[in-house]
Chain A
Amino acid sequence: MKYLKKLLLFIPLIWVITGCQQSETEQQANKQTEASQQQVAVDENKESASSKLTPLENEQPDQPLSIDEFNDAIYEVVQDSIQDAVENAVEDEVAKEEQQQ
């Protein structure tokens, strides 16, 4: 009988503790979903703001290049184009040879 009384006393205590823990985890979960919803909203806003820009504004370079930077950038493109031209010429030659064979 004594044990029964003690058990009856413990049951509500256990129930209260587990109830509190559950509500805490629920709150955390709620906070996380709220935060992610806010992030989605921010991203959507950013996207809509950038889509309002015209394509020209989107492609505008950030900073004008200095003389040296400009010359280096042009040089790089020219080198790439020469490299491509050489590779294409080699490919053409290989293709010709293959055709002849």
Chain B
Amino acid sequence: MKKILITLLMLTGSWIIHAEDEVKIKITADLPYLDVRHNGEIVRIMRIQDPEHRLSNSYAKTSRPCPPFCVHPIKLTDKVQTVGVLELLNFLDNQVKKGKGALIDARLPQWYEKGTIPGSVNIPFPILTAGTENPHTARILKLLGGNKSKDGSWNFEKARELMLFCNGLWCGQSTRAIKALIKIGYPENKLFWYRGGMQDWQLLGLTTVIP
């Protein structure tokens, strides 16, 4: 009986090691993939394993008219942190997993429906820019952990940390959402901006999901 158990354990172990070895194109040397929850299912975030893969969708496009598609600076405000892919993955693995943070796709639904980052939720920027008098905005702020007192002011002391993104460093949807949140009174130290957005994500061949 013991022998059977040991054999089974060894087989399982070797299978796991083999599965990790199969990932030739890792995210970092120590991180082959990351499993996250999306729409009630586990989704594995990893890079496309075909070394010949090229982008052929709208993110392969290099030039868009500016305005409105102008390049944004690296820092949006002094306190809002600009982050990259690894910080985003760390955020998904910690804050989002523990229910202390939310990764927000701030794009309009028609963009979101084409594909998004696993583990994100879509809050289109117009909902946030509509102002706190808008019932939908108020509902969203409450879900994010904000509290409205009877005098109408909002308290975000216990609110989640938010990481926002949109299409890329030429996209203004996440910046408008962040500016709206700051205007409402959301603490800037709880806001993070994944400036590279979907273009940066897809350039690395990372997994996307169609909701």
Contact = CB atoms under 8 A, between A and B. Distances in A.
Interface string A59-101: 1110011111011011101101110110000000000000000
Which of B39, B147, B148, B151 is packed against the most chain A CB atoms within 10 Å? Answer: B147
B159 to A, nearest CB: 12
Interface of B: 37, 39-40, 96-97, 99, 102, 109, 121-124, 126-127, 136, 139-140, 142-143, 147-151, 155
Interface of A: 54-56, 59-61, 64-68, 70-71, 73-75, 77-78, 80-82, 84-85
A70 B148 contact: no
Given A56-B149, A56-B155, A74 B136 contact: no
Nearest to A83: B136
A74 B99 contact: no
Contacts of B39: 71
B121 A71 contact: yes
Given A55-B151, A67-B37, A75-B122, 12 more contacts: A54-B149, A66-B99, A67-B97, A73-B143, A74-B102, A74-B121, A74-B122, A77-B143, A78-B109, A78-B123, A78-B124, A80-B136
**Interface SS of chain B: helix, strand, loop or mixed?**
mixed
Contact of A74 (B97, B123, B149, B150): B123
B136 A70 contact: no
A40 B109 CA distance: 52
Nearest to B134: A81
Nearest to A80: B136
B102 A77 contact: no
B147 A77 contact: no
Contacts of B140: 74, 77
